[in-house]
Amino acid sequence: MQSEKVNSINKENLQILITDPMNEYMLKSLKEKGFKVTYSPSIEREELLKIIENYDVIVVRSRTKVDKEIIEKGKRLKIIARAGIGLDNIDTDEAENRGIKVVYAPGASTDSAVELTIGLMVAGARNFYTSMNLAKSGIFKKISGIELAGKTLGIIGFGRIGTKVGIIAKSMGMNVLAYDVIDIRKRAEEIGATSVSLDELVRKSDIISVHVTVGKDAKPIIGKDEFEKMKDGVMIVNTSRAVAIDGKALLEYINKNKVLAYAADVFWHEPPKEEWEMELLKHERVTVTTHIGAQTKEAQYRVAVMTTQNLLDALAEIGVK
């Protein structure tokens, strides 16, 4: 059935819907190539469900969730494009079952995410949250912190971002341990890091930085067992997925002073919903940014360029040029 729809499509009647704010490069490029583009960056889910049946392509960032219901309603859908590095907000299994291509932009915002990670690491180590709040209140009290130089950094997830974080950490005088579910020994050796088991990493690290992709229903990589094994005064940085960490356990071990600081760009609900989330968010040793890992002008431009090219390639594969 999918092949019949593909054979009947051409540029003149193909409809592209963009449902999230997008760098102008994408809109300009697609329109210059003669594609019909509807740009609705603030469309709500109810409206999307009503109109998705009229479109062959949907392009999203993080706000729009392309779940099973959306895909079922999108009877003409041939391509789902995610202008970003992950696919958490897309039901890729359902898309695959229906023969719908899914494209995205892996690596396009690596530098932005890496820089934010290092910034959060420094913020946690030097207790920026408390110091800045005191300063804004007119209280200029000195707040002590720790140096990163000489510390052992454990990186969970040694892909593009994790590897580059490791390179910068080494340049700052840190010892780097790395863990991944795949064999990373060669890559770790190339940058002067040591590939270890998760158990060894949580036991030996002074600072742990998380760089993984996990599903929203996945079991946390860092739970109570891992917290128990950690050094007293460990610091944790997370710029990937909040659910990689057991949030309730994190709050417990921060309150026990086992965890010195938590610095993150992601949260379990954004904005938070649960009482424990609010308590964690307001904690003086917790620093949280509003999911801005890819929010730089440079990264958004690269994401738009890569997503546009991948979309055009996918269209060409189904005979639309």
Q: Are 82 and 95 in contact (CB under 8 A)?
A: no
Burial of 223 (0-12, 13-18, 19+ CB in 10 A): middle
| SS3 label, residue 16 | strand
Both structure tokens of 76: 């003409």
Most distant CA pair in the chain: distance in Å?
A: 70
Residue 262: name the closest of 114, 124, 123, 154 by CA: 124
Residue 125: name the closest of 280, 246, 259 by CA: 259
Q: Are 84 and 66 in contact (CB under 8 A)?
A: no
Q: Are 239 and 265 in contact (CB under 8 A)?
A: yes
Q: Which residues have a Cβ under 8 Å from the Cβ of 57 and sit 6 or more positions away?
A: 14, 15, 16, 17, 77, 78, 79, 80, 81, 311, 315
**Cα(first)–Cα(last) distance of the chain, in Å?**
21
Residue 153: name the closest of 134, 172, 128, 127 by CA: 172
Residues with active-site annotation: 241, 270, 291
Q: Which residues pair with residue 288 across a beta bridge?
A: 264
Burial of 257 (0-12, 13-18, 19+ CB in 10 A): exposed
| SS3 label, residue 133 | helix
Q: Are 1 and 77 in contact (CB under 8 A)?
A: no
